[in-house]
Structure 1
Amino acid sequence: MENITLLIGIVIVTALVFDFTNGFHDTANAMATTISTGALKPKTAVAMSAVLNLIGAFISVEVAATISKGLINEDSGIEPAVIFAGLVGAILWNLLTWLAGLPSSSSHALMGGLLGATIAAVGIGAVSISAVFMKVLIPALVAPLVAGIAAMLATRLTYRISRNAEEGQVAKGYRAGQIASAGLVSLAHGTNDAQKTMGVITLALISGGVLGADADPPLWVIASAGIAIALGTYLGGWRIIRTMGKGLTDIRPAQGFAAQTSSAVTILASSHLGFALSTTQVCSGSIMGCGLGRKGGVVRWSTAGRMVAAWGLTLPAAGLIAAGSALLAIQGDWGVTVVAVASVAAIAAIWFASRREPVDHTNVNDVEPAETEDAGVVTAAVQAVAPPPTTAMEEAEKSSDTPAKTTVSAP
């Protein structure tokens, strides 16, 4: 590490800041349904998720290799200042969407930032277009659909299997299953998202001549990225947890178990293949799928529409912020300084704006009246094609949601 220059050091610190924001931005992926159903208390849930994110960071380096060796051509002449600008774009977009409570993709913010900064500073020839399509864009389209369909089918199967069981015992069992599946999602998140920061740091070390062109992330890079994302996870992105846990659909324990299991399987399979997919999109797709899978379930399509719009904007928005930052950063030390100062000021402004209406573990399960709209034609159409069976557990859940009427006889 003795050859690390001041600029590379700044890039490493900025990458770890992004990793930290990734942690609290994506805590909802693993724990939103577990918190919303009461399977775990909010602080306990985020603590468990943080530990498993840290463990997951040490399991694989396939996604890190995609970032450090796949997206950007190593012989393109990319400099650490460009990587710094890309990270700035990703961090600012992460914080803006967190402020709005939108579960956008931290992964795509990072990809958009790196690509935008690289194109602005070096040119589009420095980008591996085939890798962008195969490793980023196609998984972004396919993974949420696969996870959503899997969650819908798993939810229907879950209710069918337990249709004659006693409601209390089944609900208790599924709450235990939720805790286990939430842990699996947290572990999977560590294997995918923590590696993206490892890949960025490794790319910076390669571009600065500290590591060879084909080097894998050193152990200290893996450890620091794992710790940063774990700390961010423990802080808890309560605004996004509220949106995913209560804003998309009303989740019962059986649905939460089905959604989380579907998400974990999708993420782990993608990590093994080196696909840098969005864990946020996968988990959001699963939650919508489980809403469609329960008879009478409601998917709030206005919230879902806002989320999908944020997904579509993430790559270009982060890319534009990063491109502007790169054009300044490549001017020299003064340009890097201007970008750093402006970024700190923007982060402070976003933080103070968030304090006007704080969301934390005490009010994360509150739902605003505007979030109670009907599921609409799509839900009805899906259930008309394959109506899920009515089970004893569903009837008990329905009756428990409606206060019993008390009849008083006249004296």
Structure 2
Amino acid sequence: MDQSPATDGGDGMEHMPLDAVVLAVVAGLFAVVCGVNDGGALLATGLKLPTVRPLTGILVLVAMVALVPLGTHQVALTFVTRLASFEEPGGKVAMTVAVVAAVTVVATLGAKGRPTSLTLAVVGGVTGAGLGYGLPASPGWTVLVLAFGLAAPFAGGLLGWVAIRLLVATTTARGLWRWHWAGFLLQTFAYAANDAQKMLAVFMIAIGFTGAPVAYTSLVAVLFALGTLYGLPKAGRTLSREIIASRPAHGVAAELAAGTAVIGCAAVGMPVSMTQAIAGGLIGAGVAQGGGRVRWYTTGKIVSAWLMTLPASGLLGWGLALLVKGELT
């Protein structure tokens, strides 16, 4: 791929091939959906503390999504080149199918009261669509990404268990706000370095660039912010109230735990779900102070949705790719 947006001898979308135009539009809509699904979850853990106001939190999150990929975008490259080769002919069509499959699965499970990971759905959709369209795929990378994805909530849970004990032992209620700011900044940085880059990856394939031009990272951030504003109330309620009967310290512990776990995965280019890591952190913090705080029925519903997400999106992506390829050839 070229470093600059690919056009057919001119500037603007009117000179792009139809498959690229369609994928660019899908990429924009996908960024909004990511904001609805992910943005509220990132702010939810701190809603019981007045330290980071929702508007301030959204502005910080948007700035991170726009700026962090300028320094590192290894996770975006994993989506673009390591799970399947979308530089091949038909790659843009296959990625469009992958995004549609992922969003369909997440929306279907969400409508049934089973919120799930959009990142996990994208991994499944990308793998399935790539195989269905006949693109070169890497089973080894797929298995490795899946292993990291499954491990992330457990790592978040363990770190949350440790973090809540340290906070209780060393921090007063008045001093908790400093840890909340530290945890929030760590968490938003981690999201921008990992989970958020699935949005950039779709634009990379649609437009045809390998770096992270600030114009596109900024566009992703603005579209993401629009979705976050819409999705904050519902997503915030799900994580901050339904998983555990949480107190402010639980949210701070989950932020610190999730941020640490996800940054570790980003360092090796492994896409993982921040919402899964946050949920794991909340559960770990709740268990550390007595398992009765955890609402295990709701937790079970969420975990079962996680387990269904990747195979469902993979199968749907594979089937849709076969169908579309048959229609186009």
TM-score with structure 2 setting the length: 0.86
Separation (CA, whole Å) in 2 of partners of 1:295 and 1:287: 12
Using the TM superposition, give the Cα deviation of residue 156 of structure 1 relative to its aligned residue in structure 2, in angstroms: 1.3
Question: Aligned pair in 2 of structure 1 residues 8, 327: CA closer, same or farther (>3 Å)?
Answer: same
Question: Are positions 1:131 and 2:141 aligned together?
Answer: yes
Assess if the C-alpha contact under 8 Å between 1:194 and 1:229 holds in 2.
Answer: no
Separation (CA, whole Å) in 2 of partners of 1:304 and 1:234: 25
Q: Which has the larger radius of gyration?
A: 1
Question: Are positions 1:158 and 2:167 aligned together?
Answer: yes
Question: Are positions 1:79 and 2:119 aligned together?
Answer: no
Alignment of 1:244-283 (within 5 A): 244-283=239-278
Question: Aligned pair in 2 of structure 1 residues 244, 330: CA closer, same or farther (>3 Å)?
Answer: same
CA RMSD of aligned residues (A): 2.5
Using the TM superposition, give the Cα deviation of residue 295 of structure 1 relative to its aligned residue in structure 2, in angstroms: 4.7
Separation (CA, whole Å) in 1 of partners of 2:90 and 2:111: 32
Decide which moves more: 288-297 or 274-283.
288-297
Partner of 1:294: 289
Alignment of 1:94-243 (within 5 A): 94-100=106-112, 102-122=114-134, 126-134=136-144, 136-162=145-171, 170-205=172-207, 210=208, 215-243=210-238
Using the TM superposition, give the Cα deviation of residue 82 of structure 1 relative to its aligned residue in structure 2, in angstroms: 1.6
Q: Give the SS at the match of 1:326.
A: helix
Question: Aligned pair in 2 of structure 1 residues 49, 79: CA closer, same or farther (>3 Å)?
Answer: closer
Separation (CA, whole Å) in 2 of partners of 1:192 and 1:324: 28
- Which amino acid in 2 is paired with 1:288? I
Separation (CA, whole Å) in 1 of partners of 2:297 and 2:33: 26
Q: Give the SS at the match of 1:122.
A: coil
Separation (CA, whole Å) in 2 of partners of 1:11 and 1:277: 23
Question: Aligned pair in 2 of structure 1 residues 61, 323: CA closer, same or farther (>3 Å)?
Answer: same
Separation (CA, whole Å) in 1 of partners of 2:106 and 2:238: 15
**Partner deviation per Cα, 1:148-180 (whole Å, 9 max, x = no partner):** 111101111221224xxxxxxx22321342233
Assess if the C-alpha contact under 8 Å between 1:50 and 1:233 holds in 2.
Answer: no
Separation (CA, whole Å) in 2 of partners of 1:140 and 1:269: 12
Residue in structure 1 matching 2:81, options 69, 80, 91:
69
- Which amino acid in 1 is paired with 2:134? V
Partner of 1:165: none
Using the TM superposition, give the Cα deviation of residue 90 of structure 1 relative to its aligned residue in structure 2, in angstroms: 1.4
Using the TM superposition, give the Cα deviation of residue 88 of structure 1 relative to its aligned residue in structure 2, in angstroms: 0.6
**Partner deviation per Cα, 1:39-66 (whole Å, 9 max, x = no partner):** 5454554444334333334331111111
Partner of 1:2: 7
Using the TM superposition, give the Cα deviation of residue 115 of structure 1 relative to its aligned residue in structure 2, in angstroms: 1.5
Question: Aligned pair in 2 of structure 1 residues 254, 145: CA closer, same or farther (>3 Å)?
Answer: same
Question: Aligned pair in 2 of structure 1 residues 297, 179: CA closer, same or farther (>3 Å)?
Answer: farther
**Partner deviation per Cα, 1:319-359 (whole Å, 9 max, x = no partner):** 233233323332457x9xxxxxxxxxxxxxxxxxxxxxxxx
Separation (CA, whole Å) in 2 of partners of 1:287 and 1:194: 21
Partner of 2:3: none
Decide which moves more: 149-158 or 33-42.
33-42
Gaps of 5+ in 2: 1-5, 9-15
Assess if the C-alpha contact under 8 Å between 1:87 and 1:110 holds in 2.
Answer: yes
Using the TM superposition, give the Cα deviation of residue 216 of structure 1 relative to its aligned residue in structure 2, in angstroms: 3.5
Using the TM superposition, give the Cα deviation of residue 182 of structure 1 relative to its aligned residue in structure 2, in angstroms: 1.7
Question: Are positions 1:319 and 2:314 aligned together?
Answer: yes
Separation (CA, whole Å) in 2 of partners of 1:238 and 1:98: 15
Q: Give the SS at the match of 1:20.
A: helix
Using the TM superposition, give the Cα deviation of residue 230 of structure 1 relative to its aligned residue in structure 2, in angstroms: 3.0
Alignment of 1:372-391 (within 5 A): none
Q: Give the SS at the match of 2:116.
A: coil
Assess if the C-alpha contact under 8 Å between 2:243 and 2:295 holds in 1.
Answer: yes
Question: Aligned pair in 2 of structure 1 residues 29, 55: CA closer, same or farther (>3 Å)?
Answer: farther
Separation (CA, whole Å) in 2 of partners of 1:139 and 1:146: 10
- Which amino acid in 1 is paired with 2:161? M
TM-score with structure 1 setting the length: 0.70
Gaps of 5+ in 1: 163-169, 336-411
Question: Aligned pair in 2 of structure 1 residues 119, 296: CA closer, same or farther (>3 Å)?
Answer: closer
Alignment of 1:28-67 (within 5 A): 28-37=40-49, 39-67=51-79
Q: Give the SS at the match of 1:275.
A: coil
Q: Give the SS at the match of 1:308.
A: helix
Identity of aligned residues (%): 27
Assess if the C-alpha contact under 8 Å between 2:28 and 2:223 holds in 1.
Answer: yes
Separation (CA, whole Å) in 2 of partners of 1:115 and 1:228: 25
Using the TM superposition, give the Cα deviation of residue 256 of structure 1 relative to its aligned residue in structure 2, in angstroms: 1.8
Partner of 1:308: 303
**Partner deviation per Cα, 1:17-49 (whole Å, 9 max, x = no partner):** 112211220124421111145554545544443
- Which amino acid in 2 is paired with 1:190? A
Q: Give the SS at the match of 1:94.
A: helix
- Which amino acid in 2 is paired with 1:2? T
Assess if the C-alpha contact under 8 Å between 1:64 and 1:217 holds in 2.
Answer: no
Separation (CA, whole Å) in 2 of partners of 1:57 and 1:234: 22
**Partner deviation per Cα, 1:240-278 (whole Å, 9 max, x = no partner):** 221110001122222222211111111122212111111
- Which amino acid in 2 is paired with 1:142? A
